[in-house]
Chain A
Amino acid sequence: MKKKFGALLSVGLAASVMLAGCGSDTSKETKGGKDKKDFKVAMVTDVGGVDDKSFNQSAWEGLQRFGKENGLAKDRNYKYLQSQSASDYQPNLQRLVRENYDLVYGIGYLMQADVQKVAKQKPDAHLALVDSVVENQKNVANILFKEQEGSFLVGLIAGSQTKTGKVGFIGGVTGPVIKRFENGFKAGVKTANPKAEVEVQYAEAFDKAEKGQQIANTFYDKGVDIIFPAAGATGNGVFTEAKNRAKNGKKVWVIGVDRDQYEEGLPEDVTLTSMVKKVDQAVFDVSKQTMDGKFPGGQVLNFGLKENGVGISSHKDHVTDKALKLVEEYKQKIIKGEVKVPGTDAEFKNFKVK
C-alpha cells in the first residue's frame, strides 16, 4: 500500500512539474503583422551554459545587442533558457515555442536532433540552429560558419612567421567542422610559405588537456614553433606546454581558437593571435532578418569572411606587418571570391596556391 501511494505521489509531482512548464501565457495573438516592439526572440543554451566563454556566451551577447538596439525588453522580448543536461534541450525548445517566441535558437550541434523534432511537431514555429543542419525543414534556419576562411588567415600568419619552417595543427575529434579548421589552416600556411611543413594530429577528445599537452610536447620537440589547436579544453594543455617552454626561454607560439584567447597565453604571452568565430554576429543578423519578415527558413546560411562571421582577433601585437599585409590581401581575395579556401580533405588536395 505504502509503495502504491509513493508511486502515485511521484506521478502527481512529475505531472505538476510538467504542467508548470506550460503555465506561461499562451493567450497572445497569432504571428504575422506584428509590431516590431512585440518581436520575441529566445535561445536555448547547450550544457556549456550561457557563460562558457565560447559560443553560448557569444550567442547571448549577440541577442542582447539585438535587443538593446531595437529597444526590446529583456526577459519579455528576448531571453535564454539554460540546459543543465542533454535531456533539457527538447523541453526548453518546446517551452519557448509555446510561449509564442517568434524565433527560437538552438545553440550548438548537440541540439540538432531536438531542433528537428520540435520543428516537425510545430510547423508554425521559427527555429534556428547553430553549427549544424536540419535538412528538409522549412521552418529551421541553419547557421554554419566557414571556419576554413578564418583558419586560412591564421595559417597565413603562421606560415610567414615560423622560424623553423614547421607549424602544427591539433584537432579535437575528427569530423567535418574540425576538418574545416585543419584544411583552411594548412592552405593558409602553404600559401604564405610553400616550403613549410604542417604537422597534424587529432587528440580524439575535446576534454583531455593532458593529451593536448603531450601532443604539443612532441610537436615542439620536433621543431614546430607555432601550434593552432582546434580542440576545446584539450587545447588548454597546448597552452600549458607552450608557457612551460616560454618560461624556460624557448620562443614558441599558440594560435587561439573560436574566441580571443589572449588571456590564456599570459603571463608568458604565448598567444600569437586568435581565430574568432562570431556567433554573436550570426545571431544578430538572423534575428534582424526575421524581425523584418525575412526569416531564412530551410536555408543553410554560411557565415564567412564576407558576412563578418569569422576573422582574427584584435590582439595581434606579435603579428608582423608583413603577415598582416598578407592577411589583408587574401581577405579581400576571399571576399571577392578569387580564392576559394578548401574545407575538406578532397578540396585541399585540389587547392592551388595563388
Chain B
Amino acid sequence: MSFLDILAIVIPAAIVSAAPLIFTALGGVICERSGVVNIGLEGMMLFGAFVGAVCMHFFEKMHLGAASPWLSFLIAIVAGALFSLLHAMASISFKADQVISGVALNFLASGLALFLTKKIFDAGETPMIHERISKQDVPVLSHIPIIGDWFFSNAYATSYVAIFLSVVVWYVLYKTPFGLRLRSVGEHPMAADTMGINVVRMRYVAVLISGGFAGLGGAVYVASISGNFTHATISGQGFMALAAMIFGKWHPLGALGAALFFGLAQSISVTGESLPFFKDIPSVWLLIAPYVLTILALAGFVGRADAPKASGQPYEKGKR
C-alpha cells in the first residue's frame, strides 16, 4: 500500500468522525462567546441523538424514505434548542452557577433519554435505523486526481454541511452586527448593556443556538455512525467537542480545525495498526496518540487560549 493509498483511507475517515464534533463545537463557540459556559454540550448532544433516532425510526415507518434522516435533523435541532432552554433559564435568568447547571443537564439528558426510550420502545435501546444517510462520492469533484480521493470520495453529505456551517458561523460572528453584539455581551456585558444591547436576550439566543447545533451533532452521529440510540451512543463526544472549542480558541474556524485534527489523530491511531508504516509501533502508542498529540498541540503550537472575558459570570444589571 503506498503512502497516497493510506492517506486516501485516513483522511475520509477523519472527516466522517469529525462531523458530529464540528457541529457541537460550533454550538459551544456561540454559547461561550456570549458569556455562558456550556458544559452541558454532552447532554444536549445526547438528547439530540435520542430525538433524532426516535424520529428517524418513525419517519421510516411512515415511508418518508431518504428524506427521513434530514427531517429528523431539523427536529433534533429544535429538540436540542428546547432542551438547552433549561440551561439558559438556570444560568441566565436565575443566575445559577453555569458549570453546575451544565453538569445537571448532562445527568438529566442521559436519564430522561433512557427513560423515554424504555417507555416508547419497551427496550433499553431504539431499534436499528434502516433509512440513514450513506457515504457517497461527490460527482465530478471526486474525479480530481489525489485530492478527489482525499476530500470528495466516500463521504457523508453532513460532513460538508458541517464545514460549510463553520464558515457561516464565522461570518455571522465576525462580520455582522448580530455577531458583534453577541461577542460584546460575552466580553463586557455591562458596556454592551450601556450601549442598549439586551444582554439577557442575546445570551438566551446564543444558548438556544448552541443547543440546536449540539442536537444536530447528536442526530448526525446516529444517522452516520451508530445507527441507533443506546446508553453508550453518546459517551464523551460532547466533551471532545468542548475540548475542540478550547483548542480552537473559541473561534469557529479554529474549532473546525481542532475537530478535524481530533478526527485525523483518531483515524491514524485506528487505521495505523494495520498499515505498513505504523505496524511495528506497539499498539498502545497508537491508542494514546490522539491524546498525546492534543496535549502537544495545545502546549506547543496553539499558544495562549483566552476565554471570553465574561464567560461563566451571570450578568447582574447595575452591579460593579
Closest to B267 in A: A214
B235 an interface residue at 8 Å Cβ cutoff? yes
A222–B8 Cα gap in the complex (Å)? 12
Residue in A closest to B122 when the chains form the complex, CB atoms: A51
Check A218–B274 contact: CB distance below 8 A: yes
Q: Which residue of B lies closest to A241 (CB)?
A: B135
**Minimum Cβ distance to chain A for residue B192 (Å):** 40
**B142 located at the interface, meaning its Cβ lies under 8 Å from any Cβ of chain A in the complex:** no
B122, B127, B135, B233: the one contacting A244 at CB < 8 Å is B135
Give the Cβ gap from A169 to chain B, nearest Cβ, in Å: 12
- Residues 111-155 of B contacting A (Cβ, < 8 Å): 118, 122-125, 127-128, 130, 132, 134-136
Most buried by B among A53, A218, A267: A218
Residues of B within 8 A of A48 (CB): 124, 231
Contact B128 A207 (CB under 8 A): no
Chain A neighbourhood of B266, CB < 8 A:
210-211, 214
Nearest chain B CB to A73's CB is how many angstroms away? 23
A residues near B134, Cβ cutoff 8 Å: 243-244, 247-248
Contact residues in A for B118 (Cβ distance below 8 Å): 49, 51
Question: A233 CA to B234 CA in the complex, in Å?
Answer: 11
A202 contacts B by Cβ under 8 Å = yes
A223 to chain B, nearest CB (A): 10
Is A187 an interface residue, CB under 8 A from the partner? no
Q: Which residue of A lies closest to B60 (CB)?
A: A267
Q: Are B123 and A240 within 8 A (Cβ)?
A: no
Contacting residue for A218 out of B128, B228, B271, B287, CB 8 A: B271
A202-238: which residues lie under 8 A (CB-CB) from chain B?
202-204, 206-211, 213-215, 217-219, 221-222, 232-233, 236-237
> Which of A51, A218, A236 contacts B123 (CB under 8 A)?
A51
Which single residue of chain B is at the shortest CB-CB distance from A50? Answer: B124
| Cross-chain contact of B124 among A53, A204, A207, A247 (Cβ < 8 A) | A53
B125 touches A53 (CB 8 A): yes
Closest to B1 in A: A222
Q: Which secondary structure characterizes the binding site on chain B?
A: loop
Contact B233 A209 (CB under 8 A): yes
- Interfacial chain A residues near B39, Cβ < 8 Å: none
B247-286 residues with Cβ-Cβ distance < 8 A to A are: 266-267, 270-271, 273-275, 283
Residues in chain A near residue B128, CB distance under 8 A:
239, 263-264, 266
Task: Write the chain A residue with the least CB distance to B17.
Answer: A210
Check if A201 is an interface residue, CB within 8 A of chain B.
yes
CA gap between A219 and B17 in the complex, in Å = 17
- Cross-chain contact A209 with B226 (CB below 8 angstroms): yes
**Candidates B122, B228, B232, B270; contact of A215 at CB < 8 Å:** B270
Q: How far is the CB of A47 from chain B (nearest CB, A)?
A: 8
B34 to chain A, nearest CB (A): 30
User: B225: CB under 8 A from chain A?
Assistant: yes
**A38 close to chain B: CB less than 8 A:** no
Q: Residue of B at shortest CB range from A210?
A: B17
Closest to B222 in A: A209
Given contacts A214-B13, A218-B274, A247-B134, 9 further A-B contacts (CB under 8 A): A48-B124, A52-B125, A201-B273, A207-B235, A210-B225, A214-B267, A236-B227, A236-B228, A264-B227
Listed in ascending order, the chain B residues whose CB lies under 8 Å from chain A are: 1, 9, 12-13, 16-17, 118, 122-125, 127-128, 130, 132, 134-136, 221, 224-228, 230-233, 235, 266-267, 270-271, 273-275, 283, 287
Residues of A in contact with B (beta carbons under 8 Å apart): 47-49, 51-53, 199, 201-204, 206-211, 213-215, 217-219, 221-222, 232-233, 236-237, 239-240, 243-244, 247-248, 263-264, 266-267
28 A–B contacts, CB within 8 A, in A order = A51-B118, A51-B124, A53-B123, A53-B125, A203-B270, A204-B287, A207-B232, A207-B235, A209-B225, A209-B227, A210-B16, A210-B221, A211-B270, A213-B13, A213-B16, A214-B267, A217-B13, A218-B274, A218-B275, A221-B9, A232-B232, A233-B226, A236-B225, A236-B226, A239-B227, A240-B225, A243-B132, A248-B134
